[in-house]
Amino acid sequence: MNYNDRLSGNEAIAFAMKQIDPDVMAAFPITPSTEIPQYFAQYVANGEVNTEYVPVESEHSSMSACIGAQAAGARAVTATSSAGLALMYEMMYVASSSRLPITLACVNRALTGPININNDHSDSMGIRDAGWIQIYAENNQEAYDNFLQAMPIGEHPDVRLPVMICQDGFITSHALENITLLDTESVKAFVGEYNPENYLLKKENPLAIGPYDLGCHYMEHKIQQAESMKFAKERILEVAAEFEKISGRKYGLFEEYQMEDAEVALVLIGSSAGTAKAAVEELREQGVKAGLIKIRVFRPFPAEEIAEALKNVKAVAIMDKAESFSAQGGPLFAEVRSALYDLESRPKAVGYVYGLGGRDITPQHFQGVYGRLLDIAKGGDLGPVYTHLGQRG
Amino acid sequence: MKLSARDINENSTWQEMTLGGEIYEPATSKLVNTGAWRTNTPVLDVAKCRHCLMCVPYCPDSSLPVLYGRLVGVDYYHCKGCGICAEVCSFGAITMKEGGEV
Amino acid sequence: MELERTYHFKKTLEKKERFAPGHRLCAGCGAGIAVRGVLRALNEEDRAVIGNATGCLEVSSFLYPYTAYEDSYIHTAFESAGASLSGVEAAYNALKRKGKVKDTVKFITFGGDGGTYDIGFQSLSGAMERGHDLTYVCYDNEAYMNTGIQRSSSTPRFASATTSPAGSVVPGKKQNKKNLTDIIAAHNVPYVAQTTFIGNFRDLYTKARKAIYTPGATFLNVMAPCPRGWEYPAEMLPEICRLAVETCVWPLFEVENGVWRLSYEPKKKLPVEEYLRMQGRFRHMFKPGNEWMIEAAQKSVDENWEKLLAKCLG
């Protein structure tokens, strides 16, 4: 039975974890994700969950402990942000290459330096190629819903990959919103039990994990990961369909907003979509055929599907909330522009880097972007494809 | 699909290898002939051996098998010929012979 | 669990071997002896999960698809052995509570001095402080052997390593060896011990049994000579270990619930020179004009020995 409550994004994630009641949580506090282990530690202290809570001495150790726990046959979760995720970098690869479906709640925050606690996507984008499934939320409801879908996706025997559920630091993590929760019984039934075929504590046979691979085996193991990541796209949609049945809420690889007849469009990730939608509505009222694509799944990247969704658009702006210092645009821009390459007739594409370190973005900013796209659509000059938005000077 | 270390080699395709490099059977290293590394070879003189077993725990390669409290020989398929066993033996029952051949 | 008071050497060797041959450690490697010796201390009916920091032991004992372990084994990274095994132990507690695991499983992790004294120090300290029911075993060969004999914080002063080479100006490693066993004892864990390969292995076996079967986080520091890195003929390992103990370079002791106990006191403490002379890494100390190095090494050993005696007698 669904019911309504008012929760912050962090509370929503902690509550989802409580409903799932994982075997092990290992976490180290870092703003803005700190509340998640705090709430969860209180659940443990109150006996509301059966979880072993491991208060590790660093994020490197939280991921290491999660790897050990998941390999042992347990369901392991953690939460982190920014520098915490960066400190995990090496272990993120170990988790995915060991094929351990750990779930990580990432509360996106700018990477140091200079140190900054506000939101952008430089943390999870920096680790985008570590072999983790990455799913992003626009709001608290999506953060909650995505977290519940993580384990059925990652634990599928043909996927066996870790999953990162991302939401925007402070913007959603600390803001209260009305959200609809599932009852715990439905959550437990939906998420199911974790029953890996082999695990360290299995009685019938031992398991050795984490070998040294010579050149003759390493590439084959990487291809296995790559093949599973390809399959994950199908599994994400399957799980979304199952989730819709119990929640009534529909999810895909990305959300298309006013895209049916759109001539100009934005592609972006996360909470900025709410602001951008307001801009789209205003433009629609003025008769402008504006649309929006909000990426939900960044890894695996839904390239073909995005190309299909954008094929009739005349001009598109791809908005990155992370710098990649490639000197030619952010990571989302690179992915989307590459996805468009195979289209017979492609929209013109420009990239923007915006919102770094929590820099505010308003409907007016987006209207300005749409204005530029309309000029380009009419045959105007494309101009520089890599620019920033919202900065001074 | 169950995959055994016995069937995995440098020509295996990615479909023929275990996911993530996991091995779900014990002690598959026994398949490896590290005895081929030997440049010197321990020779056990059974007549001199008092079965004190002092040599056994010093072997880094678990190559001095014990059965019913007695040293039953040298596992030449795995012994690398380090010579520690000969050094430890107080009775001159193990001597090192030049070359890797048994 | 009540541990037996007597040591039956032969009976220990009749136990099933848990570290299989066919691993790729060098001939005469001390790490292999350490692993065998520690795992022999397990009750035969108990299962174990073996952890491992990256290092010689790891790349040699689980080179795909060949595992040298009869038991389950996990390697994650160089600096994470303490944390990874913490996670395994936490999972065991959770699954046991849920009835998914029923039998006794022990948790033992191995790391070289690189993975233990240095890069994995924080993760080890965390695991000890949190008090997971596990045993961390350092096989201490006093340098980063896997990458080619670079100095570590465990490398003794004056030893020539590839990143602290002895030259005409610099006399090998400039700093003293870190006293890790003391540092772990300062975590107030229930059992910490220092051992090596001596005589009939009574010392290593009984300490390993205490470490494995004492509830809580425990630590064993096992001196495990490396013939290549220390530059001595492989077969001389037992003599190197004996001299390390007889010169008090590597004293045998244990700290049980805060009580320091000397496991062995040499009747006549041998000069450290006898230990140093056998190893090529100390070769330069014996050149004319470098007598001060041997004196300094002796002074350092004497000081450490006196401090240890004070702790054990005090």
Indicate the residue of A198, A214, A220 with minimum beta-carbon distance to B24: A198
Q: What is the pLDDT of residues C203-247, one digit of tens each?
A: 999 999 999 999 999 999 999 999 999 999 999 999 999 999 999
Local confidence band at C5 (pLDDT 50, 70, 90 cut-offs): confident
Strand ranges (E), A132-174 = 133-136, 163-168
Is A224 within 8 Å of B17 when comparing Cβ atoms? yes
Local confidence band at A168 (pLDDT 50, 70, 90 cut-offs): very high
Is A160 within 8 Å of B13 when comparing Cβ atoms? no
3-state SS, residue A181: strand
Question: What's the pLDDT score for residue B47?
Answer: 97
The whole-number average pLDDT for the span A361-387 is 97
Tell how strand A290-295 and strand A254-257 pair up.
antiparallel
Check whether C308 has a pLDDT greater than 80.
yes
C113 vs C129: CA distance, rounded Å:
19
- Binding-site residues on chain A for chain B (CB distance < 8 A): 97-100, 160, 198, 205-211, 213-214, 216-217, 220-221, 223-224, 227
Averaged pLDDT score across all residues of chain A = 98
Torsion of CA A115, A119, A120, A121, to 10 degrees: 100
Q: Kindly state the tokens that stand for C186.
A: 């300062």
C72 within 8 A of C91, measured Cβ to Cβ: no
Is A224 within 8 Å of B20 when comparing Cβ atoms? yes
Chain C residue at shortest CA distance from B87: C235
Q: What is the rounded end-to-end Cα distance, in angstroms, of chain A?
A: 53
Local confidence band at A258 (pLDDT 50, 70, 90 cut-offs): very high
Local confidence band at C4 (pLDDT 50, 70, 90 cut-offs): confident
Strand partners, C107: C49
Indicate the residue of A160, A198, A221 with minimum beta-carbon distance to B17: A221
Question: What's the pLDDT score for residue C219?
Answer: 98
Tell how strand C135-140 and strand C191-195 pair up.
unpaired
What's at C242, amino acid-wise? Answer: R
C2 within 8 A of B34, measured Cβ to Cβ: no
C187 vs C180: CA distance, rounded Å:
11
C48 vs A93: CA distance, rounded Å:
26
CA-based nearest residue to A270, from A206, A330, A195: A330
A108 within 8 A of A170, measured Cβ to Cβ: no
- Binding-site residues on chain A for chain C (CB distance < 8 A): 23-24, 26, 50-52, 54-58, 60-62, 64-74, 76, 90-91, 94, 98, 200-203, 206-214, 217
Question: What's the pLDDT score for residue C17?
Answer: 97
B-chain CB neighbours of A224 within 8 Å are: 14, 17, 19-20
B63 shares contact with chain C (CB less than 8 Å): yes
Strand partners, A25: A53, A77
Residue listed under structure tokens 């951008």: A276
Check whether A11 has a pLDDT greater than 90.
yes
Q: What is the pLDDT of residues A51-81, one digit of tens each?
A: 999 999 999 999 999 999 999 999 999 999 9
CA-based nearest residue to C156, from C279, C268, C55, C68: C279
For C:103-162, CB contacts with A below 8 A are 103, 105, 122-123, 125-126, 129-130
Residue listed under structure tokens 């630091």: A169
Question: What's the pLDDT score for residue A197?
Answer: 97
Averaged pLDDT score across all residues of chain B = 97
Residue C129: alpha-carbon gap to chain centroid: 19
A335 vs C136: CA distance, rounded Å:
45
> Domains in chain B, ordered, with CATH?
38-102 (3.30.70.20)
Question: What's the pLDDT score for residue A320?
Answer: 98
A236 vs C301: CA distance, rounded Å:
63
A22 within 8 A of A48, measured Cβ to Cβ: no
Number of Cβ atoms within 10 Å of the Cβ of B68: 8
The DSSP 8-state label assigned to residue C19 in this structure reads: B
Residues 6 or more apart whose CB falls under 8 angstroms from that of A312 comprise A262
Indicate the residue of B28, B68, B82 with minimum beta-carbon distance to C66: B28
Q: In chain C, which ranges are continuous DSSP H helix?
A: 9-14, 30-39, 56-61, 81-97, 113, 121-130, 180-185, 202-213, 227-230, 237-246, 272-277, 291-313
Tell how strand C105-112 and strand C47-52 pair up.
parallel
Residue C145: alpha-carbon gap to chain centroid: 14
Tell me the three-class secondary structure of C157-197, residue by residue.
CCCCECCECECCCCECCCCCCCCHHHHHHCCCCCEEEEECC
A206 vs A209: CA distance, rounded Å:
10
A145 within 8 A of A249, measured Cβ to Cβ: yes
- Compute CA distances A309 → A153, A253, A267, A328, whole Å: 24, 12, 11, 24
- The alpha carbon of residue C71 is apart from the nearest alpha carbon of chain A, in Å, by 6
Phi, psi of C194 (to 5 degrees): -120, 135
Question: What's the pLDDT score for residue C57?
Answer: 98
Is A209 within 8 Å of B21 when comparing Cβ atoms? yes
Chain A residue at shortest CA distance from B22: A209
Strand partners, C63: A212, C66
Residues 6 or more apart whose CB falls under 8 angstroms from that of C299 comprise none
ipTM: 0.98
The model's pTM is 0.98
Q: What is the pLDDT of residues C116-160, one digit of tens each?
A: 999 999 999 999 999 999 999 999 999 999 999 999 999 999 999
For chain A, helix (H) and strand (E) counts, in that order, are: 13, 16
Please report how the helices A331-340 and A303-310 are oriented relative to each other, as an axis angle in degrees rounded to 10.
Answer: 70
What's at C102, amino acid-wise? Answer: K
Q: Kindly state the tokens that stand for C104.
A: 């006794």
Is B24 within 8 Å of A220 when comparing Cβ atoms? no
Phi, psi of C112 (to 5 degrees): -75, 180
Question: Above pLDDT 70, what percent of chain A?
Answer: 100
B100 shares contact with chain C (CB less than 8 Å): no
> Domains in chain C, ordered, with CATH?
9-313 (3.40.50.970)
Residues 6 or more apart whose CB falls under 8 angstroms from that of A155 comprise A101, A194, A196
Number of Cβ atoms within 10 Å of the Cβ of A44: 17
Is C238 within 8 Å of B69 when comparing Cβ atoms? no
Check whether A359 has a pLDDT greater than 80.
yes
Question: What's the pLDDT score for residue A109?
Answer: 98
C158-172: b or e for each residue (b if 16 or more CB lie within 10 Å)? bbbbeebebeeeebb
Residues 6 or more apart whose CB falls under 8 angstroms from that of B67 comprise none
A57 within 8 A of C125, measured Cβ to Cβ: yes
Local confidence band at C2 (pLDDT 50, 70, 90 cut-offs): confident
> Domains in chain A, ordered, with CATH?
3-247 (3.40.50.970), 254-389 (3.40.50.920)
The DSSP 8-state label assigned to residue A156 in this structure reads: S
Check whether C1 has a pLDDT greater than 80.
no
The DSSP 8-state label assigned to residue A26 in this structure reads: E
Check whether A4 has a pLDDT greater than 90.
yes
Find chains touching chain B: ≥3 CB pairs under 8 Å.
A, C
The whole-number average pLDDT for the span A250-264 is 98
- Compute CA distances C35 → A252, A366, B83, C51, C107, whole Å: 51, 63, 19, 11, 13
Residue A343: alpha-carbon gap to chain centroid: 26
Question: What's the pLDDT score for residue B2?
Answer: 87
Local confidence band at A1 (pLDDT 50, 70, 90 cut-offs): confident
A-chain CB neighbours of B14 within 8 Å are: 220-221, 223-224, 227
A211 within 8 A of C75, measured Cβ to Cβ: yes
What's at C45, amino acid-wise? Answer: E
3-state SS, residue A343: coil
Q: What is the pLDDT of residues B32-71, one digit of tens each?
A: 999 999 999 999 999 999 999 999 999 999 999 999 999 9
A67 vs C85: CA distance, rounded Å:
9
Q: What is the pLDDT of residues C260-302, one digit of tens each?
A: 999 999 999 999 999 999 999 999 999 999 999 999 999 999 9
Q: What is the pLDDT of residues A25-40, one digit of tens each?
A: 999 999 999 999 999 9
